[in-house]
Amino acid sequence: MSQSLPDTSVEGVTRYGLFIDNQQIAPIEGEYLDVVNPASGAVWAQVPNASAKDVDVAVESARRAFVEGDWPAYRAADRAKFLIRFGEAIADNAEEIAQLQVNENGKLIREMVGQAKLMPEYFNYYAGLAQMPTGSTNPLHVQQMLNYTVREPLGVVAAITPWNSPLLLLVWKLGPALAAGNTVIAKPSEVTPASAIRFAQLAAEVGLPPGVFNVVTGLGHPSGTALTGHPGVDKIAFTGSTATGQAIASQAGKTLKRVSLELGGKSPNIVFDDADLTSAVNGLVAGIFGASGQTCMAGSRILVQDAIYDQVVDELRRRAEAIKVGDPQDPASEMGTVACRPQYEKVLSYVDVAKADGARLVAGGTTAEVDGFPDGLFVRPTVFADVTNDMRIAQEEVFGPIAALIRFSDEDEAVRIANDTQFGLAAGVWTGNVQRAHRVASRLRAGTVWINNYRKTSYATPFGGYKQSGLGRENGADALREYTEEKSVWVDTGQGVKDPFNPRA
């Protein structure tokens, strides 16, 4: 075990440790990474860059907790009580954990506080599901036999989370995983690691047994690859890019680990000429400029019918230019920063890509200057018109505040364009025709379709993608099944085995 490490602060920089067995510990090889505030450009924290040896320690802790001690003895009701207490602790510390995330990724404080206050509801929901019947009794063709099924936890779960909504997306995994009785090792993005450590501290403070929820921090390599390839891990739950998800699935296949993947998107937001345009444009703005466009479900491809195309372009341009880009801590700000410099540079590079492909820039396309933040990673809300679906800006996930407007003539063309992508995470339909709304929704190859709204999620409804947008589902009852194995049990209620060569005897 590596040396115990209390929180320390030197010149305003807090040094965190790995969180294993309900305590922070120093990394074995002593390597740390800087955590940078994307608004100020200042280093405010350091976290371990975990080695394969550190991952071994975390997996050993999680495996021990799964097979020994208090956690495997917990009844479903005990796990439910813990989830409720954990939710209460999050509610009590909502401002703190929201602030940590703003420091990490530059999202608006009002959005992060809202997410933090929502998280307890996820835990309350899974506390209820943990106590619901999950098996069945089955009618048989064999006489004097009883068959029933039970669902049991998988074991050790590796939860690998991104930087855009770091704790909410961790909750999407942690809630059902713990409700089912698994133990969890979280590996947050190196951009947003400190909030996950504080999250694990809260779990320990309300009584989660040691080893049930561990956090290892670090880069994708060595930390991430050591975790996803570890023979002691039974399941990988990943949210992130499609390319990384493909690599994880390939690696997991070597040991037949269970995998759930919530990956990228290039979601169509379709506006028909009979839509309520005020509501539709509000939805377009929320769909692509909310969270600075850094959501997998972003409605980045805006498909607009011919008759209203120019009107929508003009209105979206006006709305984009009016958005207040500013200090994420300011409640008046409507858009904060891009989360990190590599992503900032990627987003800006796509402006040049779109221009080179022939798209027409109608708003934004540059950095935004914010008083008091000369080193901030701010990008203006950007709108491109005259986009065709074969352009890179229409096919590749930018993960930033760039809208691509595509013209269509009729319903069939809208559906064809919408489905002409490698992704299938989400879609939006805006129309006043109820028959068309349901008809188009049924034809779209996407895991979530919003009709006359956009970017809504709930703990009670499944979320996930078609095609290269992922495998499996998060949220809802479906998520609990993702973290369990089904076992079939046969009981002889008759006179025992009479003829070993005749199973019907």
- Residues annotated as catalytic (active site), given as ranges: 262
**How many other CB atoms are found less than 10 A from the CB of residue 115?**
20
Radius of gyration over every alpha carbon of the chain, rounded to an integer in angstroms: 24
Alpha helical stretches, state H, 376-433: 392-395, 411-419
**CB-neighbour burial class of residue 335 (10 A; exposed 0-12, middle 13-18, buried 19+):** buried
Look at residues 160, 190, 164, 187 and name the one whose alpha carbon lies nearest to residue 46.
190
Does the CA dihedral 378-195-179-468 come out positive or negative? positive
Asked if residue 172 lies in contact with residue 190, where contact means CB atoms within 8 angstroms, the answer is no
User: What's at 273, amino acid-wise?
Assistant: D
The widest CA-to-CA distance across the chain, in whole angstroms, is: 86
**Residue 207, SS3 per DSSP:** coil
Helix then strand count (H, E) for the chain reads 15, 22
Look at residues 203, 154, 180 and name the one whose alpha carbon lies nearest to residue 21.
203
Tokens of residue 242, six digits: 């499609």
Look at residues 243, 193, 201 and name the one whose alpha carbon lies nearest to residue 219.
193
Asked if residue 176 lies in contact with residue 483, where contact means CB atoms within 8 angstroms, the answer is yes
The DSSP output letter for 27 is -
Tokens of residue 87, six digits: 């939710």
Q: How far apart are CA 382 and CA 377, in angstroms?
A: 15
Tokens of residue 399, six digits: 């993960």
Q: How far apart are CA 20 and CA 59, in angstroms?
A: 9
The DSSP output letter for 429 is E
Name the β-bridge partners of 471: 261
Q: How far apart are CA 221 and CA 343, in angstroms?
A: 18
**CB-neighbour burial class of residue 307 (10 A; exposed 0-12, middle 13-18, buried 19+):** exposed
